[in-house]
Amino acid sequence: MHLIAYVNPCGHIFCRSIKNITLMALSHALLAALHSAPCSGYDLAKKFDGSVGFVWNATHQQIYRELTKLEEQSHVTAEVVQQDNRPDKKVYKVTPAGEDYLRVWIAKPIVMSGKKDDLLVKLFAGDLVEPSVILCELEHHRAQHQDLLDTCKSIEQHIFANVSPQDLQRRYRYLTVRQGVRIETEWLAWCDEAIAFVKQF
């Protein structure tokens, strides 16, 4: 059983217990990323800096530490690959046991992740500063969300332009990109609304 705590907009905290659910861990994200193709820890870290980072954030140190654990649990194997004029690298691959571990997790219901957003906390106490400070922060956020939307659309157009109906792996991944497009589009609309609202002060 998991106990989930929530904070509503009025600042009240309430909890509820949820049975038979599972929480996502970095191990799941790593196995999902490796499911498409074996890759090195360095390449995995680059994926988390890019596309995978849309759904899970992790530092390079966290990634390498978790890969070591997964290897110890026989969920991944690591092959040392020699490179000319460069240090050897480990290429990780998901094992059948790792795939089973991922299947079990996928089949279990999950609870929505708790919302944690610095901007909303700043707005909650925004009356402590001049409106210009909040406007600057809103415009800064808008620019970031515009960049993310452009990235999602680029991935959608270049990687998922012609997906075969038989290619289930890419079709499911297309859904994750579509969610990114919709979320960032809504964020931009909200930022525009918030900026216009604050300019009235």
Same domain, 122 and 103: no
Same domain, 138 and 78: no
Do 123 and 169 touch, CB atoms closer than 8 A? no
Do 190 and 119 touch, CB atoms closer than 8 A? no
Residue ending a domain, among 40, 74, 107, is 107
Least confidently predicted of 1-5, 49-53, 72-76: 1-5
* Model confidence band, residue 177 (pLDDT cutoffs 50, 70, 90): confident
In this predicted structure, the answer to whether residue 199 has a pLDDT above a threshold of 90 is yes
Pair of tokens at residue 44: 């995995």
The closest alpha carbon to 6, from 142, 17, 47, belongs to 17
Beta bridge partners of 81: 89
Per-residue confidence (pLDDT) for residue 13, from 0 to 100: 37
Asked whether residue 3 is assigned to any structural domain, the reply reads: no
The dihedrals phi and psi of 66, each to the nearest 5 degrees, come to -70, -35
Per-residue confidence (pLDDT) for residue 15, from 0 to 100: 41
Mind listing the pLDDT tens digit for each residue in 4-63? 444 444 444 334 444 444 556 889 989 988 988 899 988 888 877 665 555 667 788 888
Per-residue confidence (pLDDT) for residue 11, from 0 to 100: 41
Per-residue confidence (pLDDT) for residue 184, from 0 to 100: 94
The domain containing residue 75 runs over which residues?
Answer: 22-107
Asked whether residue 12 is assigned to any structural domain, the reply reads: no
Asked whether residue 4 is assigned to any structural domain, the reply reads: no
Same domain, 102 and 150: no
Mean pLDDT, rounded, for 165-193: 89
Q: Count of domains in the chain?
A: 2
Pair of tokens at residue 15: 């909890």
For residues 34 and 176, what is the distance between their CA atoms, to the nearest angstrom?
A: 16
Residue ending a domain, among 77, 107, 137, is 107
Same domain, 33 and 102: yes
Mean pLDDT, rounded, for 71-86: 91
Higher pLDDT, 71 or 87: 71
Per-residue confidence (pLDDT) for residue 68, from 0 to 100: 93
Same domain, 125 and 90: no
Same domain, 128 and 101: no
Asked whether residue 82 is assigned to any structural domain, the reply reads: yes
Pair of tokens at residue 156: 């959608």
Residue ending a domain, among 63, 87, 107, is 107
Mind listing the pLDDT tens digit for each residue in 101-158? 999 999 888 777 666 688 999 999 999 999 999 999 999 999 999 998 998 898 888 7
Per-residue confidence (pLDDT) for residue 83, from 0 to 100: 82
Q: What share of the chain is helix, strand, coil (3-state, %, to 5)?
A: 60, 15, 25
